[in-house]
């Protein structure tokens, strides 16, 4: 249960996803303009699309070719529906090629394939480019092999690349537009302005996506869902997401919310003590702490596969929540019917099942115990009030709810905890304790350097490999650890943080001198994509 997208007061923009790694960025960029946007499967039915009553539909890019049999496309009747309802349509990259092909133009394999930064030049004044004139140029991010060879009747070219390839098209009468490049990425420096011009100047979209409105609507939805005599359990992880979700639900139903914090043995250094103090002292949330370390580690013993670890952890969490619900039933005389979780929109996008029913043109990136790992026979019904929000939106909502700013700025911590930061079996030797100490040194060093708030997420990873070293004039055969720190806006894409060499040298020295058994430290300089932020 979450806010109904159809109840949002702002004009709605739907993004039909055809598998581009940048699709989520379109969604995020539009929300930054205070306009509500939502990502659906590119193969959603026409009824599904129409039910949202969008002002604008954006067709995303993707890895496909319109010439390939079975390549994804919008549903039959989409063009007629859009025109009869005054809906504006923007195709980006593959989306442009779909428009050209489906409306009677010709798309061919490009003689001059374009990838990366390219210069484009405006060839006709257009609302897509504001006040820019013919001949004005800008840098954009191209990623296409096919190109529009002949436009459908009534369409005109408004920008070309320096190589002469069609870069932007429009048919103002039919309200169809297209960009052969990706305006949503930072590599297109003026892309955000293009989206702004398109939404507000071309389409006349009205902004209205405000966190204050989200708060009011979520409280209304919660009160409509949870009957006056019903009770709710909230799974608190100690992270920003579950804490904001709990605070929101607590504001809606008060003491009928019963929070549980589970120490699963996979927490960071002194996490249990620190988090419980914040819950009780600052947030005044009713929290029961359960120590389930032995239970989780027993089930994880001998398990190497990361997805299997996630599923086991998800199953054990639900078992504990069910037991907690039974205890509350004996105490209250009524069994809680709902479970609150801090699931975010990126979790939904990257997990199984992806957003929108029937998506078949993208891959599952990860499964979470709070999204893809829940058992089918779970007795509790879910309340996920943050399910349509990105991380920065959650932080803004938390600020309105008076969650302490220091807590809101905490780096994300995965639901499976250190299980996805110890490669392989987490129960071997003292891997978990070793990782906790390494991680604490790294994070404290970042805080001491004044960099904690600049970095999206930082952590250490334990590598189950032996490495030769020299410590105390003796040959050692210890373990290696990897450090990871990334910058990001929403966790969907990320880049590694460029620490200076002196900082990394000092951190490495502290770790090797302070943590027994570690004699080698590496720093991960891989972006997302191609990697993910977490290691498992």
Task: Summarize pLDDT for 255-276 with one digit per residue, the tens.
Answer: 999 999 999 999 999 999 988 9
Instruction: Give residue 252's pLDDT band: very low, low, confident or very high (50, 70, 90).
Output: very high
Q: Which one is predicted more confidently, 89 or 377?
A: 89
* 372 — pLDDT class (breaks 50, 70, 90): very low
Residue 115 clears pLDDT 80, i.e. is over it = no
Q: Is the pLDDT of residue 458 over 90?
A: yes
Which one is predicted more confidently, 303 or 68? Answer: 303
Distance from the Cα of residue 384 to its chain's centroid: 15
Q: What is the pLDDT of residue 114?
A: 62
pLDDT at 111: 64
Band of pLDDT at residue 208, cut at 50, 70 and 90: confident
pLDDT digits (tens, 9 = 90+) for 432-455: 999 999 999 999 999 999 999 999
Whole-number pLDDT of residue 257: 94
Kindly list the distances between the CA atom of residue 75 and the CA atoms of 78, 81, 294, 344, in Å, as whole numbers in the listed order.
6, 10, 52, 28
**pLDDT of amino acid 439:** 97
Residue 367 has pLDDT above 50, yes or no: no
Which long-range contacts does 449-453 make (Cβ < 8 Å, 24+ apart)?
Answer: 449/503, 451/497, 452/409, 452/411, 453/409
Mean predicted confidence (pLDDT) in 203-225: 90
Calculate the average pLDDT of the chain: 87
Binding site feature residues for ATP: 237-243
Q: Which residues contact 430 (CB under 8 A, 6 or more apart)?
A: 517
Highest mean pLDDT among 127-141, 183-197, 290-304, 520-534: 290-304
Tokens (6 digits) for 258 = 């019963």
CA–CA separation, 431 and 118 (whole Å):
48
Higher pLDDT, 24 or 1: 24
The confidence score (pLDDT) of residue 419 equals 94
C-alpha 461/C-alpha 478 separation (Å) is: 15
For 509, residues 6+ apart whose C-beta sits below 8 A from its C-beta are: none
Annotation: binding site? 237-243
Helix, strand, or coil (residue 472): coil
Query: Quick one: pLDDT band at residue 352, thresholds 50, 70, 90?
Result: very low
Instruction: Average the pLDDT over 301-305 and give the result.
Output: 93
Confidence category of residue 423, pLDDT binned at 50, 70, 90: very high
Q: In which band, very low, low, confident or very high, does the pLDDT at 361 lie, cut at 50, 70 and 90?
A: very low
Distance, CA of 86 to CA of 333 (rounded, Å): 55
Domains, the chain, with CATH or none: 12-203 (3.40.50.880), 211-409 (3.40.50.620), 430-523 (3.30.300.10)
Average of per-residue pLDDT across 390-403? 91
Check residue 8 and give its pLDDT: 65
Residues involved in catalysis:
93, 182, 184
Q: pLDDT at position 447, please?
A: 97
Distance set, CA 153 to CA 60, 73, 94, 105, 165 (Å): 23, 20, 19, 8, 18
Alpha carbon 516 to its chain's center: 36
């Amino acid at each position: 249960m979450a806010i109904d997208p159809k109840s949002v007061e702002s004009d709605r923009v739907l993004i039909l996803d055809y598998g581009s790694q940048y699709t989520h960025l379109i969604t995020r960029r539009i929300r930054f303009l205070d306009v509500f946007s939502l990502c659906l499967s590119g193969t959603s039915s026409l009824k599904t699309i129409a039910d949202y009553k969008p002002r604008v539909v954006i067709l995303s890019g993707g890895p496909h070719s319109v010439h390939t049999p079975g390549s994804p496309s919008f549903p039959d009747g989409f063009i007629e529906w859009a025109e009869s309802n005054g809906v504006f349509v923007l195709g980006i990259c593959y989306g442009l090629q779909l428009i050209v092909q489906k409306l009677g133009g010709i798309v061919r394999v490009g003689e001059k394939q374009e990838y990366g930064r390219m210069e484009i030049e405006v060839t006709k004044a257009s609302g897509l480019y504001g006040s820019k004139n013919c001949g004005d140029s800008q840098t954009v991010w191209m990623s296409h092999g096919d190109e529009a060879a002949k436009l459908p009747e009534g369409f005109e070219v408004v920008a070309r690349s320096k190589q002469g390839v069609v870069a932007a098209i429009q048919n103002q009468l039919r309200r169809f537009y297209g960009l052969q490049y990706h305006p949503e990425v930072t590599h297109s420096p003026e892309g955000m302005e293009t989206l702004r011009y398109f939404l507000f100047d071309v389409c006349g979209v009205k902004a209205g996506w405000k966190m204050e409105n989200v708060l009011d609507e979520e409280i209304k939805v919660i009160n409509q869902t949870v009957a006056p005599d019903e009770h709710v359990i909230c799974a608190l992880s100690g992270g920003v997401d579950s804490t904001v979700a709990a605070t929101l639900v607590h504001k809606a139903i008060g003491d009928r919310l019963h929070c549980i914090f589970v120490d699963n043995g996979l927490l960071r250094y002194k996490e249990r003590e620190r988090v419980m103090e914040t819950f009780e002292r600052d947030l005044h949330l009713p929290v029961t702490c359960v120590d389930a370390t032995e239970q989780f580690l027993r089930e994880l013993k001998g398990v190497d596969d990361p997805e299997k670890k996630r599923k086991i952890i998800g199953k054990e969490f639900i078992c504990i929540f069910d037991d907690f619900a039974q205890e509350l039933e004996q105490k209250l005389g009524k069994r809680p019917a709902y479970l609150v979780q801090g699931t975010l929109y990126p979790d939904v996008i990257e997990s199984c099942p992806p957003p929108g029913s029937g998506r078949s043109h993208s891959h599952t990136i990860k499964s979470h115990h709070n999204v893809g790992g829940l058992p089918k026979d779970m007795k509790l019904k879910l309340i996920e009030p943050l399910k349509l929000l990105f991380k920065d939106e959650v932080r803004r909502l938390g600020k309105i709810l008076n969650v302490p700013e220091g807590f809101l700025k905490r780096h994300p911590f995965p639901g499976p905890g250190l299980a996805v930061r110890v490669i392989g079996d987490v129960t071997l030797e003292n891997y978990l304790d070793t990782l906790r100490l390494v991680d604490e040194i790294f994070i404290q060093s970042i805080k001491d350097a004044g960099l904690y708030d600049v970095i999206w997420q930082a952590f250490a990873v334990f590598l189950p490999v032996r490495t030769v070293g020299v410590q105390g004039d003796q040959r050692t055969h210890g373990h290696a650890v990897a450090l990871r720190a990334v910058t990001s806006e929403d966790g969907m894409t990320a880049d590694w943080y460029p620490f200076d060499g002196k900082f990394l040298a000092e951190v490495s020295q502290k770790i090797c001198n302070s943590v027994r058994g570690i004699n080698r430290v590496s720093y991960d300089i891989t972006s997302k994509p191609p990697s993910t932020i977490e290691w498992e």
